[in-house]
Amino acid sequence: RIERLSDLEKLAVLGHGNGGTVYKVRHRQSSAVYALKVLRFDRDATALRERAAHEAEILKRVDSPFVVRCHGVFDGHCGDLCFVMEYMDVGSLHDVLRVRRRMAEKVVAGVARRVLEGLRYLHGMRIVHRDVKPSNLLVNGQGEMKISDFGVSRVVGVGSKDPICMDDSYVGTCAYMSPERLDPDSCGDGYDGFAGDVWALGVVLMECHVGRFPLISAGQRPDWATLMWAICFGDPLMEVGETASPEFESFVGRCLEKDWRRRGSVLELLNHPFVNWCSSTEGPDDDLHGWDK
Ligand code: ADP
Ligand code: MG
C-alpha cells in the first residue's frame, strides 16, 4: 500500500501530455514500480482542476483487467494532483507502432478483443472514454493491453458538453473522433457517446493494419480541413488493401460506419467472426507477447 507521495522515488519520465507528466517511480519500502501521473495547474485553472478531479473519480471506480489500475490519488505540492497507476512496462500502442509499423491480422484481432473487453466494462459502468487512440492503450510484458487516460471521459448523464475542438493543436486528439462528435448538430436525439468509442477503435485497428494513420493517404496534408473532410465524407476503408481478410474488412466496416445509429455495438463486435477467429485459433501469433522494446 502506498501511504504518501514521498515514499515514491522518481526513476524516469514516461510521457508528457495535456497538462501533465507521467513518471516511472519506485516505492521505497516495497521496491514495487508504478507510473505516477502528475497534473499541474495554474492558480486559477478551475476548469482543468475540475476535469482532473473528474478523472480521479473515474479512476477510483474502475476495476478491470482491461483498464489500467489506479493505486491511489494524492494531492501533491503546489496543488498538483497525482495518480499512482499500475506500470505498463512495454509502453503505449503508439510506441509499439512506431517500432513495428504493420501488424499481422491475428495480432490486430488480439488488440480488438482486448479493447472491446475494456469498452464493454466501461460502457457497462456508463463511462464513455472519448479518447481511445494508440497513446492511451498501454501494453505490458505479460501480453496484456489496457485502456488508460480518463482525462476527457464522461459518465453518461453527468457533466458538460464536449470540449471544443477547433484549433490546430487539437488535431491529434480529433483524429480519432467520429463524424457525429465533429458535428454534434448531426447527432439527433439520444446520442450517448458510446458509439464514438467504437469508431475510434476502428481507426486504431486500421492504423495497426496499415502502419500509419489510415484516414488520410500518405500524400495528403494532415491539416484540420483534410482530416475533418476525411472523417465526415471520405471512405474510411480506402487504405485496407487487397490482402486484408473479409473478416477484418467487415469488422472495421462495422466500426467505421458513419451513421452512429447503424454502427456496430461493443457486444455485436465481441461476437464478430474477426475477433472469434483470433481466439479460436489461439497461438503465439494472436497475443501481444514479445513487444518489449
Ligand atoms: P495525457 O492525459 O497527457 O495524454 P496519459 O495518461 O495518456 O496522459 O499518459 C501520457 C503517456 O505516458 C502515455 O501515452 C504513455 O506513453 C505514458 N504512460 C501513461 N501511463 C502509463 C503507465 N501506467 N505505464 C506506462 N506508461 C504510461
Ligand atoms: Mg493520453
Kindly report the pTM of this predicted structure. Answer: 0.91
Q: What's the pLDDT at 279?
A: 57
Give CA–CA dist 291/293, Å, rounded: 6
Q: Which of 138, 145, 292, 293 to mutate to test the pocket of ligand 1 (most atoms within 8 A of CB)?
A: 138
CA distance 205 to 128: 19
User: Tell me, what amino acid is at 184?
Assistant: P
Per residue in 274-293, pLDDT (tens digit) is: 998 755 545 444 556 666 54
Distance CA 52, CA 74 (A): 12
Residue 290 corresponds to which cell in the numbers above?
514479445
CA distances to 35, 140, 155, 180 from 161, in Å? 30, 34, 11, 13
Q: What is the pLDDT of residues 82-95, one digit of tens each?
A: 999 999 999 999 99
Å from CA of 187 to ligand 1 middle: 31
Q: How much is the average pLDDT of 261-275?
A: 96
From the candidates 7, 75, 80, 131, which is the catalytic residue? 131
Check if 131 is active-site.
yes
* Four-residue CA torsion sign, 126, 130, 133, 135: negative
Kindly tell me the burial class for residue 27, based on how many C-beta atoms sit within 10 Å of its own C-beta (0-12, 13-18, 19 or more): middle
What is the distance in A from the centroid of ligand 1 to the CA of 16?
7
Tell the residue nearest (CA) to atom 1 of ligand 1: 17
For atom 12 of ligand 1, which residue has the closest CA?
Answer: 15
231 versus 100: the higher-pLDDT residue is 231
C-alpha cell of residue 293: 522494446
Please give all residues whose beta carbon lies within 6 A of any atom in ligand 1, as ranges. Answer: 14-15, 17-18, 20, 22, 35, 37, 68, 85-88, 91-92, 135-136, 138, 148-149, 151
Q: What is the pLDDT of residue 169?
A: 45
Alpha helices by DSSP H, listed for the chain, are 46-61, 93-100, 105-124, 171-174, 179-182, 194-210, 224-233, 246-255, 266-270, 273-280
C-alpha to C-alpha distances, 191 to 128, 261, 270, 271, nearest whole angstrom? 12, 9, 21, 23
